[in-house]
Amino acid sequence: MATPPKTSTPAKKRGLPVELVLNNILLLALIVLIAYFAANSSAFLTVPNFKVLLTNYAAIGVVAAVMALLMIAGHADFSVGSNIGFSGMMTALAMAEWGASPISGVLVGILSGAFVGLINGILCAYLRFSAIIVTLGMLSVLRGVTLLIKPVEVVGLGDVFFYIGNGSFMGLPILLWVVGAVFLLASVFLSTTVWGRYVLAIGINQQAAFLAALPVRPLLLGLHVATGAAAGLAGMLLASRLDGASPGSLGLQMELQAVTIVLLGGVAFAGGRGRIFGVLTAWVFLAVLDNGLTLMNVPPFVQLVASGMALVFAASLDALGNNLGPKLEQRRRVQEQLRQSQA
């Protein structure tokens, strides 16, 4: 008697996949937020307003896109706020007092930030100091150094340099071209290059990556330098947008904004998990939240409360991802084994 062939049993549907909901919960929240502000303010859902709200957040978006790579690798940089102020001031001094051309001013800003990232990288990647402690110390050092170099504001950086922060190209503000390019490069690096896979591997288990002969220390050093260069670029962009730099206030508390965006975007603080698209969504989310509350004439202290709640929400998403991530991965492996046994 012939044995009937085995037939695979179709999987039972149990509603929306948990992983799909977890990865897109912020996108759903963003859609709800946009709908709410559009219903309560006629000026919100317009193209000029969206240009303004994204342009205002362009500098911090540049930093968040690159710092996400560093945090996926398991490190963090809390000095980016003061690095923005330091680099912006160096750019302003180069333009207003040293007679530098606009191109030279741009290079001074980026290289100043990259130099700070190089120091952080040597201390954290090669000397193996705690990245949190080193960069928190650098946060204070850089603000003090900036005030020592120039304790007063520097203004009047020239029309050409001013155009970088306030001009347009093909109908879009130059700042949006810059932040879009940085997000695109970060996404391509993480998802299509072997170095991006190394970043994820180092974030999951740095010791195992080292034993597997991956370039752990050079890659961490490079990520710290890239994050510093991004902070330098952000400082230069802010200096060009404001046509000057203030040593005490430029970049103040922007390190908290950057960390909030990265965590809110689904990047694990311990490393090993994260998507650039999630960080991009979080960047737009915070920009929409800030702009919408302003249009509704919400007092500034309430906006501060909203920003703090966003950080707490980001921390809860981080904890939720850490709890559910391993369980979802285990379930995926079990389902894969079941499919292979039934094939």
Per-residue model confidence as pLDDT tens digits over 81-93? 999 999 999 999 9
Q: What is the mean pLDDT of residues 283-308?
A: 85
Do 156 and 96 touch, CB atoms closer than 8 A? yes
Q: Residue 321 pLDDT more than 70?
A: no
* Higher pLDDT among residues 308 and 124, named by residue: 124
Q: In this model, does residue 185 exceed pLDDT 70?
A: yes
How would residue 326 be classed by pLDDT, with cut points 50, 70 and 90?
A: low
pLDDT at position 2? 46
pLDDT at residue 22 in the model: 58
Mean pLDDT of the chain: 87
52-57's contacts with Cβ under 8 Å and 24+ in sequence apart are: 52/291, 53/287, 53/288, 53/290, 53/291, 54/176, 54/179, 54/284, 54/287, 55/173, 55/175, 55/176, 56/287, 56/290, 56/291, 57/283, 57/286, 57/287, 57/290
Strands (E), the chain: 154-155, 168-169, 172-173, 244-245
Note the pLDDT of residue 239: 95
339: confidence class by pLDDT, cuts 50, 70, 90: confident
pLDDT of residue 10: 46
pLDDT tops 80 at residue 338: no
The more confident residue out of 113 and 25 is 113
Burial call 296-320: b when 16+ CB within 10 Å, e when fewer: eeeeeeeeeeebeebbebbeebbee
Q: What is the pLDDT of residue 1?
A: 44
3-state secondary structure of 99: coil
Query: pLDDT tier at 58 (50, 70, 90 boundaries)?
Result: very high
Q: Is residue 278 pLDDT above 70, yes or no?
A: yes
pLDDT of residue 13: 47
Mean pLDDT (whole number) for 23-34: 82
Per-residue model confidence (pLDDT) at position 75: 94
Nearest to 149 by CA among 104, 93, 102: 93
Greater pLDDT, 101 or 12:
101
Q: What is the CA radius of gyration of the chain?
A: 23
- Mean pLDDT of all residues in 323-332: 68
pLDDT confidence band for 318 (50 / 70 / 90): low
Range with the lowest mean pLDDT among 160-169, 264-273, 322-331?
322-331
Is the pLDDT assigned to residue 156 strictly greater than 60? yes
Are 87 and 236 in contact, with CB atoms under 8 Å apart? yes
Strands 154-155 and 244-245: antiparallel
What's the gap between Cα 325 and its chain centre? Answer: 21
More confident residue, 132 or 329: 132
pLDDT bin (cut points 50, 70, 90) of residue 179 is very high
**Given pLDDT bands bounded at 50, 70 and 90, which one contains residue 110?**
very high
Q: Residue 162's pLDDT band (boundaries 50, 70, 90)?
A: very high
In the chain, the domains with their CATH numbers are 27-342 (1.10.3470)
Distance CA 266, CA 277 (A): 9
Residue of 265, 235, 257, 252 lying closest to 303 (CA atoms)? 257
pLDDT at 314 over 80: no
Cβ atoms of 133 and 211 closer than 8 Å? no
Which of the residue ranges 44-53, 154-163, 325-334 would you say has the lowest mean pLDDT? 325-334
SS3 of residue 136 by DSSP: helix
